[in-house]
């Protein structure tokens, strides 16, 4: 069965021809025509998730894993506002979502009709482009609908970003017929390859070869073996230091991970300051490296990003290079002087080696705390797992531990919100077979508890909840701890019963309140196979000790 509407028939067929397979619906009446037609078409994988916020993060996870657009679709009114958090994360992380909101007829907007708000342009600041669909069924309306939907999907595919399609419907909403009678026009956009001009390449090569101190800073990205390989070749140059974070998913022995650990230990010495900064990838977690680079007086910055963004994060931006990073480095590598004499790389590597040794010494003697819990988790992670890091303490703690080459690191660092980490992980887990482990704070877990209100959860989901009574990050960052509002308005102790929440959703539950128990329970937790269901492990830590332990840790790095 399909909708009688020629507009709906056009939309469904264009989605199919454009190979948009996954659509996450949230139930409603206004989007009924789309639900009926898409769910009755075997070319689509349709998923129903009630909570729009969770549904949109779930779809974001699928799009992130598959690297292709995923659609979300909701009813009219406030339902559309619940998509905003995930859309903003997708926009700033470069993840393609096709956001479909259904709407009341335009003549009823702002005239007392239920579930109606101004939806056209509602996401203008957090999507690449918006496409209002006409409400009529005349020839010109169908032509305009087809043009708008083609352009929306083409934009999402080409720019790897989110787009918004707003579709109004008049009642009746449930009229159907047996077979589609319409074949819509398909508009295909031909992709072309960005290349660097010979004269520009020569310009950058000359600058590179005349620079003694080059720092390549790698932000958030998916695993990329080709990029990893060419950067490893470049890292053998003595004048190049390559910094990585866990979420960059880049690893080599000659790279320098654990940026916060290394930066904390350096003296005020010009030897550490680069002359040239090259950035690739997305968000950088380390506030310490941002502060350090902003303080360098003479610094040239090249930003290599396919999105052609002008982001002056370090206040030193000189060149935006809108290219794939792998292509840029492969173009420049045969022409650079790999033998150039410099002490720069070794200066940083010595600090990395020293802090690694001090880290190991401290962790071997550390008392029970958040940091110790992370140490135990880190040392027991299964091979080739997906490790999802919640905001805001978990992702920062994990940056203190060396990357594991076989692990795939994920985190919602586009806007760094705590609101959808579990839902995103569930979406990713639904389309791969690896074990997916999320480390979440207790507030973040409870905030996204509707992620478990989902009939599509898979057995490869493991959630580790660090229960430090909520808001532990506010004891770690400067400011909140010096106010009288720390416990009531920043930390906001979490009194939720984690076990009761997991029981309510039929999720297997484990608990650890000390190091011995955690070490004993983790292997069983990872290998949980009971009832073919996900599992949650609650780790209870002392919130007042956690901050002091971390301060002691950073002091120990200086020895």
94-136 per-position pLDDT tens digit: 999 999 999 999 888 888 777 888 999 999 999 999 999 999 9
What percent of the chain is modeled with pLDDT above 70? Answer: 94
pLDDT of residue 533: 84
Query: What pLDDT band is residue 494 in, cutting at 50, 70 and 90?
Result: low
Number of H helices, E strands in the chain: 18, 19
- What is the pTM for the complete model shown? 0.93
Query: What pLDDT band is residue 355 in, cutting at 50, 70 and 90?
Result: very high
- 8 Å CB contact between 332 and 205: yes
Query: What is the mean pLDDT of the segment spanning 274-290?
Result: 97
Average pLDDT for the chain: 92
Parse the chain into domains and list their residue ranges.
2-173, 198-351, 366-557
Q: Give the CATH architecture of domain 2-173.
A: 3-Layer(aba) Sandwich (3.40)
Q: At what angle do helices 139-159 and 6-17 cross, to 10 degrees?
A: 30
pLDDT of residue 221: 96
4-8, 445-449, 526-530: lowest mean pLDDT where? Answer: 526-530
Query: What pLDDT band is residue 558 in, cutting at 50, 70 and 90?
Result: confident
pLDDT of residue 327: 96
**Which CATH number does 198-351 carry?**
3.40.50.1220
pLDDT of residue 475: 55
Q: Which residues does 234 contact at the CB level (< 8 Å), separation at least 6?
A: 216, 240, 242, 329, 333, 336, 338
- 8 Å CB contact between 402 and 365: no
Please indicate whether the domains covering 2-173 and 198-351 agree at the CATH topology level.
Answer: yes
Per residue in 14-53, pLDDT (tens digit) is: 999 999 999 999 999 999 999 999 999 999 999 999 999 9
Query: What is the mean pLDDT of the segment spanning 74-93?
Result: 96
Rounded to whole angstroms, the Cα distance separating 213 from 302 reads: 14
Which run of H or of E encompasses 229? helix 225-234
Q: Give the CATH architecture of domain 366-557.
A: 3-Layer(aba) Sandwich (3.40)
pLDDT > 70? residue 214: yes
3-state secondary structure of 115: coil
Nearest CA to 464 out of 530, 406, 394, 399 is that of: 394
Query: What is the mean pLDDT of the segment spanning 533-556?
Result: 93
Instruction: Check residues 466 and 392 and name the one with the higher pLDDT.
Output: 466
pLDDT of residue 3: 72
How many of the other CB atoms lie within 10 Å of CB of 94? 19
DSSP string, 74-91: E-SGGGGGGGHHHHHHHH
Which run of H or of E encompasses 128? none
How many of the other CB atoms lie within 10 Å of CB of 22? 21
Per residue in 462-481, pLDDT (tens digit) is: 999 999 987 555 555 555 55
Q: Which residues does 38 contact at the CB level (< 8 Å), separation at least 6?
A: 12, 15, 23, 25, 44, 46, 73
pLDDT > 80? residue 387: yes
Per residue in 297-343, pLDDT (tens digit) is: 999 999 999 988 999 999 999 999 999 999 999 999 999 999 899 99
Rounded to whole angstroms, the Cα distance separating 481 from 476 reads: 8
180-184, 368-372, 456-460, 500-504: lowest mean pLDDT where? Answer: 180-184
Query: What pLDDT band is residue 427 in, cutting at 50, 70 and 90?
Result: very high
């Amino acid at each position: 069965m399909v909708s009688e509407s020629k507009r709906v028939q056009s939309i469904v067929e264009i989605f199919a021809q454009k190979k948009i397979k996954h659509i996450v619906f949230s139930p409603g009446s206004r989007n009924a025509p789309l639900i009926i037609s898409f769910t009755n078409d075997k070319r689509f994988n349709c998923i129903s998730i009630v909570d729009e916020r969770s549904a949109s993060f779930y779809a974001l996870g699928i799009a992130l894993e598959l690297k292709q657009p995923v659609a979300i679709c909701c009813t009219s009114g406030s339902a559309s506002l619940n998509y905003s958090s995930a859309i903003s994360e997708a926009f700033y992380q470069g993840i393609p979502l096709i956001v479909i909101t259904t709407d009341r007829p335009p003549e009823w907007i702002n005239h007392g009709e239920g579930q109606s708000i101004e939806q056209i342009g509602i996401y203008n600041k957090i999507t690449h482009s918006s496409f209002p669909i006409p409400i009529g069924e005349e020839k010109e309306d169908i032509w305009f609908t087809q043009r708008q939907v083609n352009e929306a999907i083409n934009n999402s595919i080409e720019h790897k970003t989110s787009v918004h399609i707003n579709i109004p419907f008049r009642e009746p909403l449930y009229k159907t017929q047996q077979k589609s009678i319409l074949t819509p026009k398909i508009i295909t956009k031909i992709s072309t390859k960005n290349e660097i001009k010979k004269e520009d390449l020569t310009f950058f090569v000359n600058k590179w070869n005349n620079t003694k101190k080059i720092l390549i800073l790698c932000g958030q990205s998916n695993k990329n073996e080709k990029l990893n390989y060419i950067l490893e070749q470049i890292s053998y140059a003595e004048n190049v230091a390559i910094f990585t974070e866990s979420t960059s998913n880049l690893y080599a022995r000659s790279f320098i991970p654990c940026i916060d650990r290394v930066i904390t230990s350096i003296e005020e010495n010009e030897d550490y300051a680069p002359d040239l900064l090259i950035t690739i990838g997305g968000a950088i977690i380390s506030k310490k490296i941002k502060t350090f680079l902003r303080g360098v007086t003479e610094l040239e910055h090249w930003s290599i990003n396919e999105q052609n963004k002008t982001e002056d994060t370090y206040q030193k931006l000189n060149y935006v290079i809108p290219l794939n990073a792998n292509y840029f480095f492969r173009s420049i590598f045969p022409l650079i002087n790999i033998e150039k004499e410099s002490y720069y790389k070794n200066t940083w590597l010595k600090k990395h080696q020293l802090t690694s040794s001090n880290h190991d010494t401290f962790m071997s003697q550390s008392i029970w705390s958040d940091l110790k819990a992370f140490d135990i988790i880190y040392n027991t992670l299964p091979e080739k797992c997906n490790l999802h890091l919640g905001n805001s303490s978990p992702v920062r703690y994990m940056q203190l531990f060396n990357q594991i080459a076989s692990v795939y690191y994920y985190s919602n660092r586009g806007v760094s919100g705590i609101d959808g980490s579990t839902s995103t992980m569930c979406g990713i887990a639904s389309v791969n077979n690896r074990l997916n482990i999320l480390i979440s704070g207790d507030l973040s877990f409870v905030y996204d508890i509707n992620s478990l209100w989902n009939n599509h959860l898979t057995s490869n989901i493991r959630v580790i909840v660090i229960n430090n009574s909520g808001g532990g990050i506010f004891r770690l960052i400067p400011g909140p701890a010096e106010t009288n509002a720390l416990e009531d308005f920043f930390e906001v102790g979490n009194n939720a019963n984690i076990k009761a929440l997991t029981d309510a959703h039929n999720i297997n539950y484990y608990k650890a309140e000390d190091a011995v128990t955690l070490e004993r329970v983790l292997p069983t937790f990872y290998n949980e196979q009971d009832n073919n269901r996900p599992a949650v492990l609650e780790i209870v830590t002392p919130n007042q000790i956690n901050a002091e332990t971390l301060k002691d840790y950073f002091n120990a790095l200086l020895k």
